Chain A
Amino acid sequence: MDERRVVITGIGIVSAAGVGRDVNWANLLAGKNGIVPTTLVDVSDLPSQVSGQVPEYDMSTYIDKKELRRMDRFTQLAVSAAGEALDQAGLDIARDGDNIGCMIGSGIGGIGTLEQEFDVFFHKGAMRISPLLVPMFIPDMAAGMTSIRFGLRGPNYNTVSACASGADALGTAYEVVKRGDAVAMVAGGSEACVTRMSIAAFAQSRALSRNNDPETASRPYNLERDGFVIGEGAGIMVLEDLEHAQARGATIIAEMVGYGQSADAFHVTQPSENGEGAARAMNMALKKSGLAAADIDYVNAHGTSTPLNDKFETMSIKTVFGESAYTVPISSTKSMIGHTLGAAGGIESAVTVMSIRDQKIHGTIHLDIPDPDCDLDYVPEGPRDVPIQYAMSNSLGFGGHNSSLVFGRYQG
């Protein structure tokens, strides 16, 4: 099988930092905090009352009113982000639709719809349940509806690996293009978890910050960090066969060069000792890219702001990078938009790609009290101009799923 090179030709993002990739990028570079008091649902009795909500926006750009009601929020966010990415890529879908696929990762799918229908079931009875409960809830529907909306008939499904879901969707889609099963893939992650059940459950598992001050709740690598802040959004990119992109004269934003994936096989919530599993995923991504750790000029970290994650991820970066761990700049997008769970890998990969495009990285905000266990360069001072040839985006999920993606500057 001849292996193809895979490039990025489109980016779409909706997150707490705004609607659209340009707004997101500008706000992240400005170090603007996107965490707000939660208003999407009643949180008055919940221990965590702040979140990374997507600001209210006009969804009609890509979704008509009737369709909107047939989609859970995680699907709406996905279709919006996919639309933006596809507009930028300018693919000829009418011609190539059979060979363009879609993989959008989501951790839990339409949990908001399920919570609503639960109410219907208990207050009005089984016969009042919506015929759209099942299709709106199932986590593959972001990929399904995106394909239906835009006419993408190639390989299609959702990958789930908790907080690495979006990264694995991108990684799997990359492999699909690389092996020649599609000329392009619309891939990334989407999640709409700012719901009562999700917040209650993550709070009970002691993963969420108990700090309800939106200005300081999400503070990766800070000594006083006490958990993540739940967020929502979607980050989706168009991955394309290089030759296909060249033939149609597309603007190439960056290249995707490697994907590594591993399991801790250790514990359902805790990372394995010394971040061994995460290190293996990074090493696998490097090996498949034909790169050494020292070739990586920027790491967009998982950096959730939980005490364990940030410490263990730092250890795993040291394991993989050796001496260069202390010189490679590392930042956490979650410091500004919270943890978007299954969307995180999608959004953060898109941010990594824009970093390569502009040779500029955003900082980690809220890092005023350094943790001695987290002693790398997390870019606390804010945006920085950095020459980037290759950059890595890491995602680590509950259940011990680790995923690492490597992107590179595209040079003719």
Chain B
Amino acid sequence: MRRIVVTGLGLITPLGNDVSSTWDALVAGRSGLGLLTRFDSSAYEHPIAAEVKDFDATEHVDAKMLRRMDLSSAYALAASQQAIADARLDMSSEEGARVGVLLGSGMGSAHLIVEQQAVLDEKGPRRVSPFLTSFMLPDTASGLVAIATGARGPNFAITAACATGGASVGEAAEIIARGDAEVMIAGGFEAPLQPIYYAGFNAMKALAEHEDPKKAVRPFDLTRNGFILGEGAGVLILEELEHAKARGARIYAEWCGASTSNDAYDMVAASEDGHGIGQAMRDALKRAALAPETIDYINAHGTGTPLNDRVETAAIRDVFGEHADALMVSSTKSMHGHMMGAAGAVEASIAVLTCHHGVVPPTINYETPDPACDLDYVPNEARTAEVRHAMSTSVGLGGHNSAIIFGRWEGS
């Protein structure tokens, strides 16, 4: 069986525009949330967002292409280029047809479509951008990364709402496992901070409200009242082990297994019994051929909504039994917000880094325990701990669930 390892990471997050600044913020327990500045938000009582700050795409992306593409694609390209550089992957010496790209997004080019809809309505069909169709789809970023890097292998996007990133990284690994590629540039990206989508999420009554934006997201805390929209991208370089060794690559961690499932219950709400996310966790363990006791850390979906955190806790208890009390479980969304289609990939990257560094980032804003959420959520302060295996879980609208497992690289 082909083994798969992670050799590079790229992150654009509300905590920082690269891996090291994001990781430093996570370990320091810093919040990346603040008042929403991206557009006029005066209609809202608590306009809070987890915005990417000072993002300069020109470092990574051709200026002419940049003008045509959506902000979400720019995040994806920037994170991909970072990850390739981090992996020291020299695309000029790689066989392009054996390198693929699988970058997922929940919504794709949110800004571009809405901007052009305004053009259509106000100026007429003949003023709509001729570049729109090429840049508006969720798979645009995967195509652009292929063009920029010469990665000519398997190439598409996955969408599974908030489980997009996890599902994308998992399927990309399977593509290598079955021999269809040696390297996959895999991850998720999202840029949902746009007035109409924000209004849509607001109408769902899912967004958190708090006087202090930095305290708005309080996963597993009794007083939690919702999530906050975030944005950015997370990209992993997944590589077949022998391929990585042959080029002397630095290995962060090993991909052990992943799975997806569906609640088959409701369009919006998670199934109360946690059946679906529990099934994804069980199937991922099965795919990885690992016993539950070998998992030391779960980077939880932990959105901060009353329902999610309770259901997820119940599912973890159900899957892990007594070992649930020995697990470290944290929600880094308390710091980087809910990055939607990027969330699963960013959090998978964090799971990789916990294995690599032996440090577990905390759940911040955890003050009042909820009797229905009774696990070790690594409250407020990072913890130094040996992490043999880390799992990242995601749950999405439409009943989608994903779970992915990474293992510490021991050098063999």
Contact = CB atoms under 8 A, between A and B. Distances in A.
Interface of A: 1, 45-47, 70, 97-98, 101-102, 107-109, 111, 114-115, 117-118, 121-122, 125-127, 129-131, 133-135, 137-141, 143-145, 147-148, 150-162, 164-165, 168, 172, 175, 179, 181, 196-197, 199-207, 261-269, 277, 280, 284, 397-401
A200 B125 CA distance: 5
Nearest to B150: A265
Interface stretch (B140-148, B325-333, B356-364): B140-148
A156 B262 contact: yes
B155 to A, nearest CB: 3
Given A138-B398, A157-B163, A263 B101 contact: yes
A328 B320 CA distance: 56
B228 to A, nearest CB: 15
Given A46-B125, A160-B158, A143 B398 contact: yes
A213 B149 CA distance: 42
Contact of B120 (A161, A200, A263, A284): A200
A155 B204 contact: no
B97 interface: yes
A143 B261 CA distance: 11
Contacts of B275: 153
Interface string B182-218: 0000000000000111111111110000000000000
B158 A147 contact: no
Which size bracket describes the interface of B in this complex?
Answer: 35 or more
Given A125-B43, A160-B157, A268 B199 contact: no
11 contacts: A114-B117, A138-B159, A138-B161, A144-B161, A144-B262, A154-B262, A157-B159, A160-B158, A175-B178, A263-B101, A399-B139
Given A129-B196, A284-B180, A161 B157 contact: yes
Contacts of B113: 111, 114, 197
Contact of B139 (A46, A115, A162): A162
Contacts of B283: 181
Interface stretch (B19-27, B79-87, B127-135, B368-376): B127-135
Contacts of A109: 159
Interface string B318-341: 000000000000000000000000
B399 interface: yes
Contact of B262 (A129, A137, A147): A147
Contact of A160 (B150, B159, B267): B159
- Specify which of B107, B135, B138 lies most central, judged by the most chain A CB atoms within 10 Å of its CB: B138
A121 B137 CA distance: 22
B392 to A, nearest CB: 16
Contacts of A202: 133
B124 interface: yes
A148 B156 contact: no
B268 interface: yes
B155 A400 contact: yes
Interface in B269-290: 275-276, 279, 283, 287
A130 B200 contact: yes
Given A108-B108, A263-B153, 18 more contacts: A97-B264, A118-B196, A125-B43, A134-B107, A135-B161, A138-B107, A139-B108, A145-B267, A147-B264, A155-B259, A156-B400, A161-B155, A162-B143, A204-B133, A207-B133, A265-B147, A265-B155, A399-B155
